[in-house]
Every structure is written in C-alpha cells, then in structure tokens.
Amino acid sequence: MAIPTPLPRPLILASTSIYRRELLERLRLPFSVVSPGVDETPHPGEPPVDLSLRLACAKARAVASLHPGSVVIGSDQVATIDGSPIGKPGSFDAALAQLQSMQGKDVMFHTALAIDDGVTVRTAVVDTRCRLRALTTRALTAYLHAETPYDTAGSAKAEALGIALMERIDSDDPTALIGLPLIATTRLLAQFGLDPLDHLSTGDAA
C-alpha cells in the first residue's frame, strides 16, 4: 500500500471547514489545519469572483505569515444567482427561501484557491454552474430536515443528498463545488514541489 513520505516543507490548510479538510485528505499529503481568522465582509460593489479570490489569498497569507517556511492553502467560495451573491443561510427558513428562489435557475459557484509559501502566491478560480430541479416545498423541506445544510452557501450540499436537487452540474473540477478544487490544488502544489504522486512510497520492492 502506498503511504506518504515526509514533505520537504510543512503543508497547512488555512481553513476549519470539515469539507475542505476531507477533500485535502484525498491527496494523502500530511497537513495541519489552522484557522485564518480573516474578516470575510465583502467590499462595497466587489464582484463575486474578486471577493472569492481576495478572501482565498487573505486566508493563505494570514497563516503563511505566522508559519514561515510552510506552504499554505487558502480557499473561498461565493455562490451567485444572476450575478448577485448568495450566502450561507444559517437557518431552516432562510435555506428554504434560498432554495425556492433557485428553482429552475442556474447558480454559479466561484471557488477560489490560493497557495502561499510566504514568498510566492499562486492562484486559481474554478467556476461551477448548477441547474436546480423544480421541486415542491414538501421535497425541499424534507431535504433540509435530512441534511441541515445551513452552513453551506446555496444550501445545496452536492457531496451528499443535495445532489438530488440538481438537474445538472457543469465544471472542470467536480470537487470545486464542495469547496476545494483538487485538480487545481494538485497542479499548484506541484509548482511548490509538493506533487502528491511524488510523495508516495510503495514500500520495499519484492
């Protein structure tokens, strides 16, 4: 069985999101988690894509400044309908209203990634377009009680039962919608000398 070998530099995920942590674990690289403590308030008139990228960079930079020599991953996601951002609902009523407003519409999720080692910053933004099915209030209520996705932008947890809300998903990276685009993450980590496939050991040859 392939196991990770020690990394030349510590890897840190600048996020306390369990979803991002679980995604990064797929790459089998040892990493630690540090809360970035960044103010996520949008700037007046700030476009959603710019907001997601600014926050991803701010998260990575905040943690990198406290951990010299480390490679830090920051990520942020902003969901929009017709160009207007929609946030995390926080409650059942807000989530239901959010999902009802999204029926039959395209929802765009801008997922930004920044990797910062204190010297160099590399970034990427992956867009995911989701079309939601037209569903009854009863179906939406059942979903919300089953999944309680109140900490998820757009209320649709596609990694779980939220996939049943979808008519289609269009993206270059299926993990971007969950919160961390692993294809882009792998590509950027390789530029910092942390390609996941370079840090696997298959053990002694037979």
Q: Which residues are catalytic?
A: 76
180 with 23: CB under 8 angstroms? yes
* CA 78/CA 86 separation, integer angstroms: 7
* CA 83/CA 21 separation, integer angstroms: 28
* CA 154/CA 108 separation, integer angstroms: 10
Residues in the chain: 206
Per the structure block, which two tokens stand in for 25?
A: 């674990």
C-alpha distances out from residue 12 to 23, 67, 160, 187, 195, Å: 14, 9, 26, 16, 15
